Structure 1
Amino acid sequence: MTPSQLQTVSEAADDIRRLISQSDLPGASAVLTPLSVPEIVELVDRLGIEDAAIVYRLLAKSRAIDVFEALSPGTRGELVRALRNVEITALFAEMDPDDRVWLLDELPASVAPQLLRGLTRRERELTAGMLGYPQDSIGRRMSPEFVTAHPHLTVAETLTRVRAALDSAETVYTLPVTDSGRRVVGVVSLRDLMSASDDDLVSELMRDAHIADVMEDAEAAARRTTDYGLLAMPVVDSEQRLVGILTIDDAARILKQEESEDAARQGGVEPLRRSYLSTPIRRLVRSRVVWLLVLAVGATLTVQVLDAFEATLAQLTVLALFVPLLIGTGGNTGNQAATTVTRSLALGEVTPRDVMRVLSREVRVGFCLGLLLGTLGFVLAGLIYEWHIGLVIGLTLVAVCTVAASIGGIMPLAARAIKVDPAVFSNPFITTFVDATGLIIYFLIAKAVLGI
């Protein structure tokens, strides 16, 4: 969205709040009329949930569905809680099965049976089938509504099938080609079908298919879809039978949510389920306080190290001046390594089996960084203070950077190995651990070099 559009939405949000406070709903409706669907989505994200629910009720039905489908899963969940039961049921029935599952994942489990009862039998079976797959699997994010082609069909026959399924299929731009047992044997694009002769067979046009197993991790499947530039990827069960498709827009939505969660946890907060401006203060506090408490407890390690080396500091107080520099450098080095490896994990460039290769590389990278910074620290500290102080600082920087890079590199891999989000064990925990380790290294080197 352009800056001018954001400015328009910001002004509209201010007008909407004022008009709702004055109970001027016709005026609020007039403000909404010229706005596009993306602008209304941004507007809803900027309003409190009570005002957002009022805005949503002012929209025409067709426009309301478009807006609802464009909202983030978290915002959808809160909006549903603010709407009346009859509104929720009607809205739920209009959604695609994969969008229903996204929504149900944001709502209390007790709400699901009530919403599912309002669906037709076919829609209820499609949605309930997806709910049976694990939370993070692609089976829970695929679309079970698709149109297929068969190798022995002609182009004309296939296009007839496509036209008949236009209203129900998730996409028709890429068609899975299946045999008589519903096993995927290839894919064919709508472009190829439309450019071929009516009598050509699908078997002459189809190409090999990239497929995803229904139990595969959703992020991994989404990543492959975007990496290969696919409009849609067939999803199959353990017997290679087609059960759904993953479209490029759903893949992008999965990756956006996963990357938002990783970015939040790397910063030591829980991810917000809706936009920052519309998130209540109590929820912002709740998303941060647990991590702060955990990290505060972890920081007591640093206090204990300082207490253990109190006599060393008392003998040469100049050592205390370099504590912030050393632990800050160590924490930053560890965070850089963790961020790099976490990103490589997400892209599938490394796996937990590569732990020794990663460790070997990060030891060398950390040593080189430490050598560069240590040389600079030795010269500056030696010129300002004494050369033996410079030697302590230089050696400590070499050791701290090497250790920090090594720890930062292997912790995301260890987290993935025990099936924990690598971002959870990323920057905040690494910083806390490296602070304590770096101080121990610092004081041990100081005692050895200075003889105190």
Structure 2
Amino acid sequence: MDNQIGNLHNAVSMRDARQTSTLAAQCDVRTLIDRFERFSGEDRAFAFRLLSKDRALMVFEGLDPALRSDLVKSLRHEEIAEHFEQMDPDDRVALIDELPAKVASRLLSGLSPEERALTARVAGYPLRSVGRRMSPEPVLLTEFMTADEALAQVRRHLEAETVYTLPVLDGQRGLVGVTSLRRVLASESSQTMSDVMDEPIFARAEEDAELVARRCADQGLLAMPIVDSEKRLVGILTIDDAHTILEEAESEDQARASASEPLRRPYLSTPVTSLVRSRIVWLLALALGATLTVQVLDSFEDTLEQMVVLALFVPLLIGTGGNTGNQAATTVTRALALGDAHPQDVGRIAIREAAVGVLLGFILGGLGCLLAGMVFEWRIGLVIGLTLLCICTLAATVGGLMPLAAKAIGADPAVFSNPFITTFVDAAGLVIYFLIAAAVFGL
């Protein structure tokens, strides 16, 4: 397989159309998508033109929206219009978000009236809402439909994104229940859907896509009906789409936790200038924040000159504080995402994290006091022990409250997490350290 991929890369690089077409036909679709993500823009457009119609559509749908946008810009309108027509409405909207307005308008104008209406419906919801990620074409059953009628309805809509979870509606398209294809198949032919449906678990179209996707995954649903403000069905979120949303959210959180912006496209397809832009602002912000630490060290310069040994423990103390704060922030952020905690629980969370910090501080501080006292002197051990106790308590409390503060102002908790907690705890921890040292040694 590696040899085949290498040959495909060489054929594309040499613009050998016949060899590229032959090798691409021999690769499975997943391998082709992976290879297309690694191609340059020109190579990707060249290879795409040589795919068969069906494989071209599958590859196009499998690419990230940003790479689809690159392809659209590289190909002629007529080359991409048919693929655009056959995409699911939610995928079509994701692509439109990446395209220049003029290109998007031209593609939309070429859609059939029905597909244009479906696309407009999905695009009408807020950017991060689940309405923008749902399929607006679920299989619809009514509560008085018999099992035989329901099966006939499923057969007429086998192209739907899922046929395994089936919403049940009343006469005004209101969601009254949900059933599964398995239950319909196991029912008597004359049984109605009201007899075999369950109470529906659903989400509002305006809800945050990540929160809905996490509910869908945590509750083990194959799909979740999406309704409007009057509980009328407007679409369905499948577990596949839910996992995609969660993967995107996790990538975004990991990027921001490590002080950079998410790339929103495969790494090898991201220009170097984009990689720089994704990191430079955060690095500048953190560099400015780090000046607080420098200011603290400068303020306690006399203390350091009298007790040089204190400088040896600075990396240990600020590292422990930063790690403690990040652990608390990660735990609370996860609790917020799962609905286990809410902004109004601020008091309880602060008390719990402070208690956790005190216990961690006693354990780590006791160990630090013992080791530092044995190696240096017991007054040094006392300073390290008390500092670790205070820093762990402060870091855990602040780390637990940061995600709540972010939630309260409508920001992403990940943005407020690791980098900012580390910067704050570094400066505050050093102040605590030198004040304790000055008190113990009478400096």
SS at match of 2:341: coil
1:211 to 187, 202, 205: 202
Q: In 2, are the aligned partners of 1:75 and 1:273 still within 8 Å (CA)?
A: no
Amino acid at match of 1:246: L
CA deviations over 1:321-363 (Å, ceiling 9, x no partner): 1111111111111111111211222222211112221111111
2:235 to 239, 244, 263: 244
CA distance in 2, matches of 1:124, 1:330: 54
Amino acid at match of 1:143: S
2:390 equivalent to 1:399: yes
Mark the runs of 5 or more structure 1 residues left unpaired by the alignment: 1-7
1:80 to 56, 72, 75: 72
CA deviations over 1:203-254 (Å, ceiling 9, x no partner): 2111111111111111111112112222221111111111111111111111
Match of 2:10 in 1: 18
1:327 to 314, 318, 338: 318
2:143 equivalent to 1:131: no
Match of 1:426 in 2: 417
2:90 equivalent to 1:95: no
Q: In 1, are the aligned partners of 2:13 and 2:43 still within 8 Å (CA)?
A: no
CA distance in 2, matches of 1:355, 1:78: 45
How far off its partner does 1:297 sit? Answer: 0.8
CA distance in 2, matches of 1:212, 1:130: 15
CA distance in 2, matches of 1:112, 1:52: 20
Q: In 2, are the aligned partners of 1:72 and 1:274 still within 8 Å (CA)?
A: yes
How far off its partner does 1:52 sit? Answer: 2.1
CA distance in 1, matches of 2:292, 2:74: 45
SS at match of 1:133: coil
CA distance in 1, matches of 2:365, 2:405: 29
Q: In 2, are the aligned partners of 1:212 and 1:221 still within 8 Å (CA)?
A: yes
SS at match of 1:74: helix
CA distance in 1, matches of 2:346, 2:239: 32
Match of 1:5 in 2: none
CA deviations over 1:162-201 (Å, ceiling 9, x no partner): 222223x322222111111111110121111122222222
How far off its partner does 1:19 sit? Answer: 2.1
1:385 to 349, 372, 376: 376
2:424 equivalent to 1:436: no
Q: In 2, are the aligned partners of 1:13 and 1:46 still within 8 Å (CA)?
A: no
Amino acid at match of 2:28: S
Map 1:250-399 onto structure 2 (within 5 A). Answer: 250-399=241-390
Q: In 1, are the aligned partners of 2:324 and 2:395 still within 8 Å (CA)?
A: yes
Percent of aligned pairs sharing the same letter:
59
CA deviations over 1:58-79 (Å, ceiling 9, x no partner): 2111111112222223332333
Amino acid at match of 1:157: E
Match of 1:3 in 2: none
CA distance in 2, matches of 1:383, 1:293: 41
2:226 to 235, 251, 257: 235
Q: In 2, are the aligned partners of 1:382 and 1:389 still within 8 Å (CA)?
A: yes
CA distance in 2, matches of 1:266, 1:37: 33
Amino acid at match of 1:86: E
CA distance in 2, matches of 1:365, 1:53: 55
SS at match of 1:143: coil
How far off its partner does 1:13 sit? Answer: 4.5
Q: In 2, are the aligned partners of 1:147 and 1:162 still within 8 Å (CA)?
A: yes
Amino acid at match of 1:39: T
Task: Give the TM-score, by structure 1 length.
Answer: 0.94
2:181 to 164, 178, 190: 190
Amino acid at match of 1:326: L
Mark the runs of 5 or more structure 2 residues left unpaired by the alignment: none
Match of 2:28 in 1: 36
Q: In 1, are the aligned partners of 2:205 and 2:227 still within 8 Å (CA)?
A: yes
Amino acid at match of 2:245: I
Match of 1:155 in 2: 147
Amino acid at match of 1:119: L
Task: Give the TM-score, by structure 2 length.
Answer: 0.96
Amino acid at match of 2:360: L
How far off its partner does 1:105 sit? Answer: 2.1
SS at match of 1:186: strand
How far off its partner does 1:90 sit? Answer: 2.2
Tell me which moved more, 438-447 or 358-367: 358-367
The 3 A distance-change label for structure 1 pair 278 and 392 is same
The 3 A distance-change label for structure 1 pair 430 and 280 is same
Number of residue pairs aligned between Structure 1 and Structure 2: 443
CA deviations over 1:57-105 (Å, ceiling 9, x no partner): 2211111111222222333233333333222322211101111112122
2:62 to 67, 70, 73: 70
CA distance in 2, matches of 1:21, 1:228: 47
Q: In 2, are the aligned partners of 1:13 and 1:47 still within 8 Å (CA)?
A: no
Q: In 2, are the aligned partners of 1:12 and 1:43 still within 8 Å (CA)?
A: no
